[in-house]
C-alpha cells in the first residue's frame, strides 16, 4: 500500500532524478545546442513588448547635451504559452520499489524538455523567411531601404554533390556580409558569425572544414586551414528540408539571435489519481519564443542542383 509519506518521498526523489538528468544530458544533441542560440529574458506578465530591439547604441563625440536615442516605435510582442508533459507511474511500481522502471521514464521526460526548447528555436530558424521580426519584416529578408541590412543571400552549395569548396565559399560569404551590417544610423557594427547550421547532410563537410589542420579545400589543399578559427560549431537541423541552404549566427553579443522569454521556470510535481491507482509526474513551464535582432543571423539559399 502506498502511503502519504511514500508519495512525499517519491516526489522528492523524482525531482532529484529529473534535475540530475537535465545536467547530465544538456548539450548532448542538436536540440539542446540549438537552445544556446537564444537569450533568456525574464517575463512578469502574459506577454512582453520589445521596443528596445530597434535601438543599437552608438558611441560618439560628446559635444553639448548628451545625445540619447528614444526607443523606436516598434511593438514586437511575444506571448507566453504554457507547456507541459507528464509520465505515468503505477502505485504498485512504487510500492514494489521498482525504481529501475520509473527512473528511465523520468530521465526521458527531462531529455524531452531539453529537446523541446531547441525545437522551438529550430522552428523559428526554418520559418525565418515568413515569420516577422521586430520591424514587421521577415526575419530573413533581402529587402532594401526599410531595413539597412540584407540577411537573405545566395549560396553556392550543390544539392546533389556538395563539396568542401562550396562550403568554404558560403562561410566566406556569410562572414563578409555580416561584418558589414549597419545599424539604423548607418554605422557598421562589425559582427562575426561563428555558429553555423543547416541540413544534417552537410554536417560532415562543415566539420571537416572546422577541424582539419590543413585546408581540406581544393584551392589551398595541404596548407594551413584558416577556417578552423572561423567556426565554433555546426548544428544540424533535424527537420531541414532544403538540404543545401545554410545559416550563420552571431553568438558573442549580449543579445543572441533568438529570445527565450521565461515567465515561469520549470516546475515538477507528482499528482496522485487514487481512483485508478495511478500517479503522474509532470513538468511544466510558461515561456515565449521569438526573434531578436536580424543583424545577428544570415541565411544563404542555394539554387544549385
User: Residue 116 and residue 97: Cα distance in Å, rounded?
Assistant: 30
User: Residue 257 and residue 98: Cα distance in Å, rounded?
Assistant: 44
At 79-113, the pLDDT tens digits run 999 999 999 988 887 777 677 778 999 999 999 99
- More confident position, 96 or 256: 256
Q: Is pLDDT above 90 for 230?
A: yes
Q: Is 3 helix (H, G, I), strand (E, B) or coil?
A: coil
Query: CB of 253 within 8 A of CB of 35?
Result: no
Q: Report the mean per-residue pLDDT for the chain.
A: 89
The pLDDT-based confidence of 208 (bands split at 50, 70, 90) is very high
Domains of the chain: 4-127+258-291 (3.30.2400.10), 152-256+294-302 (3.30.2320)
- More confident position, 130 or 7: 130
Listing DSSP states for 18-37 in one string gives HHHHHHHHTTSSHHHHHHTT
User: Residue 51 and residue 85: Cα distance in Å, rounded?
Assistant: 33
At 109-125, the pLDDT tens digits run 999 998 999 999 999 99
Q: Is pLDDT above 60 for 66?
A: no
- Burial letters for 199-237: b for 16+ Cβ neighbours within 10 Å, e otherwise? beebbebbeebbeeeebbbeeeeeeebebeebbebbbbb
pLDDT of residue 219: 78
Amino acid at each position: 500500500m502506498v502511503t502519504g509519506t511514500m508519495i512525499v518521498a517519491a516526489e522528492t526523489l523524482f525531482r532529484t532524478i529529473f534535475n540530475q538528468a537535465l545536467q547530465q544530458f544538456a548539450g548532448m544533441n542538436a536540440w539542446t545546442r540549438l537552445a544556446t542560440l537564444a537569450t533568456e529574458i525574464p517575463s512578469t506578465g502574459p506577454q512582453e513588448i520589445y521596443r528596445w530591439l530597434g535601438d543599437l547604441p552608438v558611441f560618439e563625440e560628446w559635444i553639448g547635451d548628451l545625445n540619447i536615442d528614444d526607443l523606436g516605435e516598434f511593438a514586437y510582442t511575444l506571448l507566453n504559452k504554457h507547456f507541459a508533459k507528464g509520465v505515468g507511474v503505477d502505485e504498485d511500481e512504487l510500492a514494489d520499489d521498482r525504481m529501475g522502471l520509473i527512473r528511465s521514464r523520468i530521465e526521458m521526460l527531462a531529455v524531452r524538455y531539453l529537446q523541446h526548447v531547441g525545437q522551438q528555436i529550430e522552428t523559428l530558424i526554418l520559418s525565418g523567411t515568413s515569420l516577422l521580426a521586430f520591424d514587421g519584416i521577415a526575419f530573413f529578408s533581402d529587402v532594401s531601404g526599410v531595413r539597412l541590412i540584407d540577411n537573405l543571400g545566395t549560396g553556392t552549395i550543390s544539392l546533389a554533390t556538395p563539396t568542401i569548396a562550396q562550403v568554404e565559399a558560403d562561410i566566406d560569404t556569410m562572414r563578409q556580409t555580416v561584418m558589414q551590417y549597419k545599424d539604423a544610423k548607418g554605422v557598421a557594427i562589425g559582427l562575426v558569425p561563428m555558429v553555423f547550421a543547416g541540413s544534417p547532410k552537410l554536417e560532415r563537410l562543415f566539420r571537416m572544414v572546422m577541424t582539419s589542420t590543413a585546408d581540406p579545400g581544393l584551392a589551398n589543399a595541404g596548407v594551413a586551414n584558416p577556417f578552423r578559427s572561423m567556426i565554433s560549431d555546426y548544428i544540424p537541423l533535424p527537420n531541414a528540408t532544403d538540404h543545401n541552404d545554410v545559416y550563420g549566427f552571431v553568438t558573442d553579443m549580449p543579445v543572441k539571435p533568438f529570445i527565450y522569454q521565461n515567465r515561469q521556470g520549470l516546475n515538477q510535481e507528482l499528482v496522485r489519481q487514487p481512483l485508478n491507482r495511478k500517479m503522474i509526474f509532470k513538468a511544466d513551464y510558461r515561456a515565449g519564443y521569438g526573434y531578436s535582432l536580424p543583424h545577428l543571423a544570415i541565411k544563404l539559399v542555394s539554387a544549385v542542383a
